[in-house]
Structure 1
Amino acid sequence: MNYIAGFVAAVPAASKEAYRRHVTEAASVLKEFGTTRMVEAWGDDVPGGKTTDFRRAVKATPDEVVIFSWHEYPDKAAADAAYHTMMSDPRLAKIVATMPFDGQRMMIGGFASIIDEGASGKPGYIDGSLVPVPIANKAAYLAVASKHAAVIGEFGATRIVEAWGDDISDGEVTDYRTAVKATDGEAIVYSWVEWPSKQVRDEGWKKVIADPRMYADIMPYDNHRRVHGGFAPIRDA
């Protein structure tokens, strides 16, 4: 299955077009190094939570929007090779030096896909999530997530991906473990659902939530610490 480099950051709302230009320029370089797909999604329906949420995860200010982004690679070896190559490329260094947002608050991690259901395409809307899962519950999580993916796909989703944290480092300002208040012995799952449009997504989730199959199993993680939100794609290539 694919290997995922996942990113979450806070971008000033006024810098949306500057951000789009920035990632477009970066994509022109990253594609040379083996990145097969780059998706950038702009926060649209990002709710606050009692315990965790995306805005707190990246310490977003009132004038900032959360972005949910990922790069896909055929496998971890390809991702690692791309990373080592890009770090020595002066073009990318120049692009990074002119980022239109606070890079110190960007969360970065490597994730190995454990579920990838549906066809990869150009979605009209994306639901993104971060989930803390006990490492000992990996098999149980995979079993439950597989059942849920089938239901979500039945109600209009075009692709569901669950990726298990593989290369997650602590950050000085923000990081994935802090985002979900992960404890020792927990892994981070980076997941998303692709939909044809926001309307299909909204209608689909109503049916998903009402479906008793979604409640047939005990959740093998603390759902109160799950971080989630809806995002509108601004670049997909």
Structure 2
Amino acid sequence: MDNTGKYVDGFLIPVPKDRIGRYREIASLAGQVWMEHGALQYYECIGDDLEIKDMVPFPRAAGAGAEDAVIFSWIVYESRAHRDEVNAAVMADPRMKSMMNDDAPPFDCKRMAYGGFRTLVVLDKN
């Protein structure tokens, strides 16, 4: 499969450890919404082996404190134009609007790192 034309949105999010359960609930629903609107893949990963000697640790890159877990996630699309179409549909979806109006969100959006990426190299067994 040629994935080199794909487009990826990436996220690095510090989430308070006591809010991981709520984050998982929201991420599961958000993933369903993104997939229903056309995303090709949706990943949410929680940090496990993050303190690697002589490298910038993910907790520092994420601005995470001792009370935070680090979430690394990404969504794959056909292209940047496809990403823009999917994200517009996702943001208009009432399920997302209700999540975004949460009185007690599981993380602070202002602490989230986000960006869109063109693929450079892809190796995939699929």
TM-score normalized by the length of structure 2: 0.83
C-alpha RMSD over aligned residues:
2.1
Q: Distance in 2 between matches of 1:182 and 1:162?
A: 17
Of the two, which has the highest radius of gyration? 1
Aligned to 1:21: none
Partner residue, 1:126:
8
Q: Tell me, which stretches of 5 or more residues in structure 2 are unaligned?
A: none
Task: Give the distance between the partners of 2:28 and 2:114, measured in 1 at CA.
Answer: 18
Asked if residue 225 in structure 1 is aligned to residue 111 in structure 2, the reply is: yes
**TM-score of the two chains, using structure 1 as the length reference:** 0.46
CA contact (8 A) 1:170 1:177 kept: no
The residue aligned with 2:47 is: 165
Instruction: Sort the Cα spacing of 1:174 and 1:211 in 2 relative to 1 into closer, same or farther, 3 A.
Output: same
Poorly superposed stretches of 4+, deviation over 6 Å: 170-173
Structure having greater relative contact order (Cα 8 Å, sep ≥ 6): 2
Written as runs of structure 1 = structure 2, the 5 A alignment for 1:74-223 is: 122=3, 124-169=6-51, 174-217=56-99, 218=102, 219-223=105-109
**Larger fraction in strand:** 1
Percent of paired sites with the same residue: 33
CA drift of 1:175 comes to 2.9
Offset from partner CA, 1:94-151 (integer Å, 9 cap, x none): xxxxxxxxxxxxxxxxxxxxxxxxxx98361111110111111111111000100111
Q: Secondary structure at the match of 1:130?
A: strand
Aligned mates of 1:159, 1:229 — CA distance in 2 = 16
